[in-house]
Amino acid sequence: MSVVQSIRTAAVAAIKSLYNQDIALADVSINVTKPEFQGEYTIVVFPFTKFSRQKPDETAQNIGTWLAAHQPELIAGFNVVKGFLNLDINQDYWTAFLQDNYNNDNIGIQPSNGKRIMVEYSSPNTNKPLHLGHLRNNFLGYSIAEILKANGYEVIKTNLVNDRGIHICKSMLAWQLFAHGDTPASTGIKGDHLVGDYYVKFESVVKEQAEPIIDRVLENDFQDFEGADVEKLTKLVTALHKPEVKADADKTAKIMGDIKEMARNKTEIMQQAKIMLQQWEAGNPEVRHLWETMNSWVYEGFEKTYKRLGIDFDKMYYESDTYLLGKDLVADGLAKSVLFKKEDNSVWIDLTADGLDEKLLLRGDGTSVYMTQDLGTARLKYNDYHMEQSIYVVADEQNYHFKVLQLILEKLGEPSAPGIFHLSYGMVELPHGRMKSREGTVVDADDMAEEMVNTAKEATEKAFQRYNDITEAELQGLYETIGLGAMKFFLLRVDPKKKMIFNPEESIELQGFTGPFIQYAHARIKSILREVGPVEGLENFRYNGELLPLEKELIVLNEQFSGVVAEAHREMSPSVIANYVFQLAQVFNSFYAEKVEGVYTYSVLREENQDKKKLRLQLITLTARTIRQGMKLLGINVPERM
The answer to whether residue 472 scores a pLDDT higher than 90 is: no
Q: Which amino acid is at 192?
A: D
Comparing 54-68, 337-351, 427-441, the range with the smallest average pLDDT is: 427-441
Under 8 Å between Cβ of 305 and 129 = yes
pLDDT-derived band of residue 368, with 50, 70 and 90 as boundaries? Answer: confident
pLDDT of 251 strictly over 70 = yes
d(CA 424, CA 395): 5
pLDDT digits (tens, 9 = 90+) for 50-109: 999 999 999 999 999 999 999 999 999 999 999 899 999 999 999 999 999 999 999 999
Report, in angstroms and rounded to the nearest whole number, the Rg of the chain calculated over CA atoms: 30
- pLDDT > 90 fraction of the chain, expressed in percent and rounded: 86
pLDDT in tens, 378-404: 999 999 999 999 999 999 999 999 999
Q: How far apart are CA 526 and CA 532, in angstroms?
A: 10
Spatial distance between the Cα atoms of 619 and 501, rounded to a whole number of angstroms: 36
Rounded Cα gap, residues 315 and 174, in angstroms: 31
d(CA 361, CA 422): 20
Q: What is the mean pLDDT of the chain?
A: 93
User: Of 528, 634, 535, 641, which Cα lies nearest the Cα of 139?
Assistant: 634
| pLDDT tens per residue, range 325-339 | 999 999 999 999 999
Q: In whole angstroms, what is the distance from residue 266 CA to residue 255 CA?
A: 17
Containing 423, the helix (H) or strand (E) segment is strand 420-425
55 burial class (0-12, 13-18, 19+ CB within 10 angstroms)? exposed
The Cα 144–Cα 330 span in angstroms is 32
- Number of other residues whose CB lies within 10 A of the CB of residue 473: 8
pLDDT digits (tens, 9 = 90+) for 548-580: 999 999 999 999 999 999 999 999 999 999 999
The predicted structure's pLDDT at residue 367: 81
Report the candidate in 190, 115, 273 with the shortest Cα–Cα distance to residue 447. 190
Determine contact, residues 51/45, Cβ cutoff 8 Å: no
| DSSP strands (E only) in 130-285 | 154-161
Give φ, ψ of 218 to 5 degrees: -70, -15
**Reported pTM:** 0.91
